[in-house]
Amino acid sequence: MTTLDGDLANLATETSHPRYAELDRMSVAELAAVMNEADMTVPRAVGAALPQIVPAIEAASERMSRGGRLVYVGAGTPGRIGVVDASECPPTFSTPPELVFAIMAGGPSAIVTPTEGAEDDAEAGAAAIDEARIGPLDTVVGIASSGRTPYVIAAIERARALGALTVGLSCNVDTRLSAVAEFPIEIAVGPEVLAGSTRLKAGTAQKLVLNMFSTIVMVRQGKTYGNLMVDLKPTNHKLRHRAVRMVAQIAEVPRERAAATLVETDYDVKASVLMLARGVSQAAAVERLAAVGGRLRPALEGA
């Protein structure tokens, strides 16, 4: 069934499932068990969509390697999930805020103050893409549980017209969003425990997929060494200790020596590793990293 502007009741995410018909009669323990049971189906639904997810991430990674950006577009809960995922990239990978960011229907105030009518404003969705100066190197991921949100569909249509790589992430099948995106991703989560409340399973599915996008794209850009976040910004006590552990582990030196070198480099993890492991100066370490695009492994293992 193709969903355009038809009856929302036909969407799987809007369906009332008999399993949850007596929700208001259940005890807290029963409710928690039912929700947990429902949540366990989400990773399987995401797994079933991996053949759609993988090529989209590969294409996004390739464009970012040529200078492109990763942009999420959504309204309501999907928009907020996009904001959350994008906001984690600077502290995790030391990326500039403009490299991975989210466009939210209704603007920044809608993140905390619901602006439900904003999702129906198709013109605003297209205008937001123009305002962000989306171009051919960018990847734009439209997120809509129903797959029919006018704001998101218009944004994806405009981004595609401008030559950007477009991804449509929805939680129903055969959606309008899938029809307009170059890379459709449909996570068939089925009915929600609370009928129509797509902040539940659908929201979880969206965050799992965005986790993959942001993390895998950054790994492919050389932002990690193994599974270590060597590009993190150590802006607090916890992160500084994590930086010390990473440098000590990779360079195979005592933590005290790792800590002293990090202070010397103003907590540049990768430069500190090279200084300790290869016995070079900070300037030489920075030069080695620059020569290989900031990737620690080739800088460390190369001649």
What b/e sequence results for 20-58 when a residue is b if at least 16 CB atoms lie within 10 Å of its CB, and e otherwise?
beeeeeeeeeeeeebbeebeeebeebbeebeebbeebbe
Pairing assessment for the beta strands 100-104 and 139-144 based on DSSP bridges = unpaired
Q: Kindly state the DSSP code that residue 253 receives in the 8-state scheme.
A: -
CB 173 within 8 A of CB 186: yes
Pull the structure tokens for residue 216: 């895998």
Beta bridge partners of 225: 228
Amino acid at 42: V
What is the rounded distance in angstroms from the CA atom of residue 205 to the CA atom of residue 46? 7
Closest CA to 73 of 11, 113, 136, 122: 122
Q: Which residue in 14, 119, 157, 192 is the catalytic one? A: 119
CB 176 within 8 A of CB 4: yes
- What is the Cα Rg of the chain in Å? 22
Residue 62 designated active-site: no
What is the rounded distance in angstroms from the CA atom of residue 296 to the CA atom of residue 247? 12
Residue 173's CB is within 10 A of a number of other CB atoms, namely 16
CB 296 within 8 A of CB 268: no
Residue 301 designated active-site: no
CB 57 within 8 A of CB 217: yes
Q: Which residue in 58, 62, 88, 182 is the catalytic one? A: 88
The residues assigned a catalytic role are 88, 119
